[in-house]
Amino acid sequence: MRRITGTHVYSYVKCRHLAALDLHLSRSERRAPTEWEEFAAKRGRDFEAVYVQRLPIAMPRYPERDFEAGAAATRELLRSGAEWIHQGVLAGDDRLGLPDLLRKLPGESSLGDHHYEVLDVKTSGKSRGDQILQVVFYTRLLAELQGRMPTHGALILKDGREERFLIADYLAAHDEVLAALRHLRSDLSASRPFLQSGCSGCYHDQRCLPALRQRSDLSLVHGMSHGARAILEQAGCRTVADLATFHPDGPRARGNLDATLLRRLRRGALAHLLGKPLVDERPRAERFENGAIVHLLTDAFADRVLAIGVLHPAREDGAFRCELPATAADEWDALKRLVASLPRGVPLLHFGETLPRWHEEHAFAREADPAIEARFVDLGKRLRAAAVYPRAVFGLADLVQTALGRDPLRAGHPGAAAMWLTGDDGAERLRAKLHADLQDLAALKAAILDAAPTVVDDGEAAAGEGAAANGERAGSAG
């Protein structure tokens, strides 16, 4: 029986199926990490090493992967009253915990007149529920060992700040997750994949995505939720093809699913079968003929904007300009220069929250012109609302692949941007990636926002329905 670890708790919150696969498969059955994923993991390890350097830490010594010996060595350190224990091993019945840090506190426990609490070092800027539950998992194991539940747990965030929280606030949620993990460990079939934003960066993607396609799973449909999939399946609608022709009589037959939502999901199923986006009728078509597209490449770990580019006019053949700010202090002026190079007052089209969030964070400390913020237009929101796509779409890469049939990563993965800068051709790669992304955004604007609503003619509808009847796809994308 495989032991449940803190990593399983962390994975469960991201995706129930991820935790289930991790509990049943060996590491060798995962996709190998990419070069930039390894780079990011190493940065995390280096950050932890630098953080603990300043502490008077003790570490349990034990033969590699002999966790029984590790747990015994950790118990010794706990009893001896070491101030800080780094990478201790906490073992209990069917669980194993490897917390980053245990800190000694005054107050009686079965160890003596002291006890410990758990701290985990993270590279994120804000605490998240999955990280907190992982600390609570370790804390439960520690409490069993020292005969006392510590009041708090803590996360060390990337700016070195310690964020403390009350363990009691999260115990019930933790116990629920632990019970679910035990159930998944005894029965892998208790979970199934569901296409979601995390799939593209998940090491089980090569297992789940083909399985979803093979069973024509409803989660492939644009706009599908876990709840809607469960309701539709209960109503006998199990595949995308079923959904395309699902016309239930009345609310009961559709499991009381909202009629408007069902219509949209059915249109998503048709888009999947036809293999093309279906552009919706819009009440007031916004046109951004004169707009410029602005795009950033960032390094989230270092809170840096590595490259800013603009494309104007917002067409694939528009003029491309970019700046690569060398330091955080140069970022604001780089954006100002690029905006100043554009005709006055043109809308600034961007994708998602990155630009407005960065702008807001810096606006307080700078002489921000509120008129610039007022020109921001989120293309991401508009693209998602303007059409149903042949597949569920999350980030820019999904939209490019699904709506344009292009490889969104032909100039590299945006997550690799920080790694490129460690090589000689970093600046060149950043420029090439920015230009490719800007051209993709311009092509999406033309294909979706500037396009007339899609009219599905009788022939196409029949092709879609015919494909549905044969359980196939009529189109080629997605």
Determine which residue in the list 8, 13, 17, 274 makes contact with ligand SF4, applying CB under 6 A.
17
Look-up of token digits 């012109």: 369
Pull the structure tokens for residue 70. 């590790």
Q: How far is the CB of 432 from ligand SF4 (least distance, A)?
A: 29
Give the residue from 317, 314, 478 showing the smallest Cα distance to 403: 478
Q: How far is the CB of 212 from ligand SF4 (least distance, A)?
A: 8
Q: How far is the CB of 350 from ligand SF4 (least distance, A)?
A: 27
Q: How far is the CB of 31 from ligand SF4 (least distance, A)?
A: 9
Determine which residue in the list 13, 18, 52, 403 makes contact with ligand SF4, applying CB under 6 A.
18
Cβ proximity to ligand SF4, 17 vs 229, nearer residue: 17
Q: How far is the CB of 120 from ligand SF4 (least distance, A)?
A: 22
Q: How far is the CB of 210 from ligand SF4 (least distance, A)?
A: 10
Q: How far is the CB of 5 from ligand SF4 (least distance, A)?
A: 17
Contact 248, 232 (CB under 8 A): no
Q: How far is the CB of 272 from ligand SF4 (least distance, A)?
A: 18
Cβ proximity to ligand SF4, 121 vs 202, nearer residue: 202
Cβ proximity to ligand SF4, 212 vs 416, nearer residue: 212
Determine which residue in the list 4, 9, 21, 240 makes contact with ligand SF4, applying CB under 6 A.
21
| Burial group, residue 476, by CB count within 10 angstroms (0-12, 13-18, 19+) | exposed
Which residues in 174-213 contact ligand SF4 (CB under 6 A)?
193-194, 196, 198-199, 202, 204-205, 208
Candidates 14-22, 281-289, 348-356, 400-408; binding stretch for ligand SF4 (CB under 6 A) = 14-22
What strands lie across the sheet with 4-5, from one edge to the other? Answer: 4-5, 95-97, 90-92
Contact 197, 380 (CB under 8 A): no
| Cα–Cα distances in angstroms (integers) from residue 400 to residues 220, 232, 273, 281, in the given order | 16, 29, 18, 21
Determine the size of the site formed for ligand SF4 (CB under 6 A). Answer: 13
Cβ proximity to ligand SF4, 16 vs 266, nearer residue: 16
Contact 464, 472 (CB under 8 A): no
The residue type of 338 is L
Which residues in 347-406 contact ligand SF4 (CB under 6 A)?
none
Cβ proximity to ligand SF4, 55 vs 211, nearer residue: 211
Q: How far is the CB of 8 from ligand SF4 (least distance, A)?
A: 12
Contact 157, 190 (CB under 8 A): no
| Burial group, residue 247, by CB count within 10 angstroms (0-12, 13-18, 19+) | exposed
Which residues in 208-267 contact ligand SF4 (CB under 6 A)?
208
| Cα–Cα distances in angstroms (integers) from residue 7 to residues 134, 198, 219, 236, 439, in the given order | 7, 16, 25, 36, 39
What character string, x for contact with ligand SF4 (CB under 6 A) and - otherwise, covers 130-149?
--------------------
Determine which residue in the list 4, 9, 15, 237 makes contact with ligand SF4, applying CB under 6 A.
15
Cβ proximity to ligand SF4, 228 vs 293, nearer residue: 228
Binding site for ligand SF4 (CB under 6 A): 15, 17-18, 21, 193-194, 196, 198-199, 202, 204-205, 208
